[in-house]
Structure 1
Amino acid sequence: MGVQQGAEAVVGVAIATLWRSPNAVRPVDAPALGAPADVGAWVAGLDADQQVSGGVLSQLLLGERVLVTELRPDGWAHVVAVEQPAARLDPRGYPGWLPVAQLAPATPGTEATPQLVVDATVTALYATPGGQVILSGVVLGTRLAPAGPSVHGWCPVHTPGRAEPLWLPAAHLAPVPTTPPTAEEVLTVATRLVDVGYLWGGLSAYGIDCSGLVHLVWRRLGVTVPRDADDQATAAHPLELGAERPGDLYSFARPGGRIHHIGIVTAPPRLPDERRMLHACHRHRRVLAERLPAERTATLVGGHRI
């Protein structure tokens, strides 16, 4: 039985891109639509303007659960990404469209509780230890369920749509944390993403946006936070500016507008005008750590603690 409308399914590709509409897809987006999807080639083919335009909403990682709300004859599915909270859009999760071919039915093998998380920036899954690559481009933060003990430094894992386990280097995995992360852990993961290019809706080391960075860092550390910046700020504990510390968040909004940007605090503030953060910067088109420039400070509206 294949993917069914009204039922849960799981992402069967390394990275599935969630689109605003099938009609929003451009010819340049073709590499992101396949099964497998070649997100690396897709991002490499985008120019600077295409990286911040188009119909991308978010991205979903291998094994991530979705609720399928509509199946179209042309091969597209409308889904709700239940592991990406988006209270403003849908209380069930982040809604959007993706190709049905990038999904697999939820089966007992894929429903096993993920106990491992990918800690490598990018890795691959193999048919056998050190054998043929079956799925490349598996990225940091992907949660996987072990399929048995490690063998000579290789770990077998369950993957959607496959009865037999696939393998990856055990060194590329870590247990999913069960305790709240420390500031040091947050900044260690975030710093590994410095210089990753900016991609609107991106959620991986191939390209990422500001709220995607926050979501991915905490996902790697075992904590589910909302996908969008305004929802992230709403879900976190508000702080008086001046009380923030490394590992907290800064949020930004223009007068009368919703929060449109978010970043991770990297140092205690030196009031009144010296604050530092790590963020995916639209203007610089990459992830960077910096002292807040005056134009950014002018839109700073709050501090938050997850």
Structure 2
Amino acid sequence: MSCVAVAVAGLWASPDAPRAIDASALGNPALLEHWLAALDDDTRLALCKEKRLATQVLLDTPVGILERRRDSQGNDWCRVVVPNQRSSLDPRGYPGWIPATQLAEGEGCLAVGTEAATVVTPVAWMQGLPQGRSLKLSFLTRLSVATPSSDEDLSRIWVETSLGRGWLPRGSVHLPDESFPAVAATLETLGRRFDGLRYLWAGNSSFGYDCSGLVHSLFAAIGIALPRDASDQVETGQPVELGERRPGDLLFFEKPDDTGRLVVDHVALYLGEDRMLHSPTNNARIECRRLGGSRYAEQLCAVRRYLSTPEAS
């Protein structure tokens, strides 16, 4: 079994998709914040317009390796699928390319379906790693819980990872028997913690989300697995009339593509009272805004429901 061995790995369109400015995101460790700080408006926008980045994958997430290749610079890459990110692009999971140096084999990797400690704060520092290292982790990173010892500090949760044994502050994680209530209020509370976070095309971590990455992560936090992309998400859930939406529903929006065909290209979480939470577009930031009177009201094409009863809102 193989898994991601950096805090957040990018899944790229091809080994030649990254540019020189992306180099700091490709190593081990991945210097994600350094990379994001170096991107200006144009280089961020190019990730989208040129479809360079496909999605992001968190530490210890299992992947299936399909192919290995060396790029023009002599760096080794793996074409993989990510089973926990469903996609119509591949029934095995989201497909793309990851630098081989950002993958680990076997020991420490979290098997699919394994119970784990889950980061539930926007970020959390894992400390106590070999050589005294520490690592800043994203919301929803899942790691195997280490076997406790008799003198365990109750303020810490020890975990076994592909990078070795480390610990996380107890308040930053849920253990396997802990969960958030699967209600609309939880989705809003979790989502509002990311107010102001800058949009990132293909972002699926709390260092930057795109629209579908944000809702994919919020619903995963309450135990509901959505596909990764908005175009696939709209094919799931219970269809709801546009005027019957309620808190916790997802709103989908459409625009013409390059051929003039209308396609779903945006998704938002409905909060009730004409409010929605979303990660709007390139070089904007996650926000809560009114739907009425906006361009989004004109583009709204579908509503989908995942919470089963009105009481769940």
Residues 1:244 and 2:245 aligned together: yes
- Structure-2 change in CA distance of 1:20 and 1:123 (3 Å): same
Structure 1 residue aligned with 2:158: 156
Amino acid at match of 1:155: I
Unaligned runs of 5+ in 2: 307-313
Take 2:221 and 2:179, find their aligned partners in 1: how far apart are those partners?
A: 11
1:286 is aligned to: 285
SS of the residue aligned with 2:202? coil
1:104 equivalent in structure 2? 104
Q: Give, in angstroms, the shift of residue 110 of structure 1.
A: 3.5
The one-letter code matched in structure 2 to 1:167 is W
Match of 1:11 in 2: 4
* Contact 2:249 2:305 (8 Å CA) reproduced: yes
Q: Secondary structure at the match of 1:265?
A: strand
2:19 to 26, 37, 42: 26
SS class of match (1:250): strand
Trace 1:1-306 onto structure 2 (pairs within 5 A): 8-54=1-47, 55-73=52-70, 74-87=75-88, 89-107=89-107, 110-111=110-111, 113-127=114-128, 134-149=133-148, 151-162=153-164, 165-176=165-176, 181-254=182-255, 256-268=261-273, 275-282=274-281, 285-292=284-291, 293-306=293-306
Instruction: For 1:247 and 1:194, locate their aligned partners in 2 and report how far apart those are by CA, in whole Å.
Output: 17
Alpha-carbon separation, structure 1, partners of 2:271 and 2:125: 31
Compared with structure 1, are the counterparts of its residues 171 and 205 closer, same or farther at alpha carbon in structure 2 (3 Å cutoff)? Answer: same
Instruction: Look up the equivalent residue of 1:25 and give its one-letter code.
Output: P
The match for 1:4 is none
Q: Is the 8 A contact 1:51 1:198 kept in 2?
A: no
Number of corresponding residues: 288
Measured after TM superposition, the shift of residue 25 of structure 1 is 0.5
Quote the Cα distance in structure 1 between the aligned partners of 2:208 and 2:40: 13
- 2:156 maps to amino acid: W
Maintained 8 Å contact 1:124/1:133: no
Q: 8 Å contact 2:123–2:139 — kept in the other structure?
A: yes
Alpha-carbon RMSD across the aligned residues, in angstroms, is 2.0
Q: 1:79 to 1:116 in 2, by over 3 A?
A: same
Q: Which residue type is aligned with residue 251 of structure 2?
A: Y
TM-score between both structures, scaled by the size of structure 2? 0.86
Shift of 1:205: 2.0
Q: What amino acid sits opposite 2:280 in the alignment?
A: C
Q: Compute the displacement of 1:133 (Å).
A: 5.2
CA contact (8 A) 1:117 1:173 kept: yes
Change over 3 Å in CA distance of 1:49–1:170 after alignment to 2? same
Alpha carbons of structure 1 residues 294 and 110: separation in structure 2 relative to 1, 3 Å: closer
Cα distance, 1:80 vs structure 2: 0.4
Rounded Cα–Cα distance in structure 2 between residues aligned with 1:182 and 1:92: 29
The answer as to whether partners of 1:155 and 1:168 remain within 8 angstroms in 2 is: yes
Q: 1:96 to 1:135 in 2, by over 3 A?
A: farther
1:184 is paired with a residue whose SS is helix
Deviation at 1:244, TM superposition (A): 1.3
Q: Report how far residue 296 of structure 1 moved.
A: 1.3
CA distance in 2, matches of 1:156, 1:68: 29
Q: Which residue of 2 aligns with 1:272?
A: none
Query: Following the alignment from structure 2 to structure 1, what is the Cα–Cα distance between the partners of residues 121 and 179?
Result: 19
Q: Distance in 2 between matches of 1:133 and 1:218?
A: 34
Q: Which runs of 5+ in 1 are unaligned?
A: 1-7, 269-274
Give, in whole Å, the separation in 2 of the partners of 1:109 and 1:283: 33
1:204-261 CA-to-partner distances (Å, cap 9, x unmatched) read 2211100010111122223321110011111222111122111110000125322100
CA contact (8 A) 2:199 2:282 kept: no
Query: Structure 2: how far apart are the matches of 1:56 and 1:49?
Result: 15
Q: Distance in 2 between matches of 1:153 and 1:201?
A: 35
Deviation at 1:152, TM superposition (A): 3.6
> TM (normalized to structure 1)?
0.88
Q: Which amino acid aligns with 2:190?
A: V
Equivalent pairs: percent with the same residue?
36
Q: Structure 1 counterpart of 2:86, which letter?
A: P
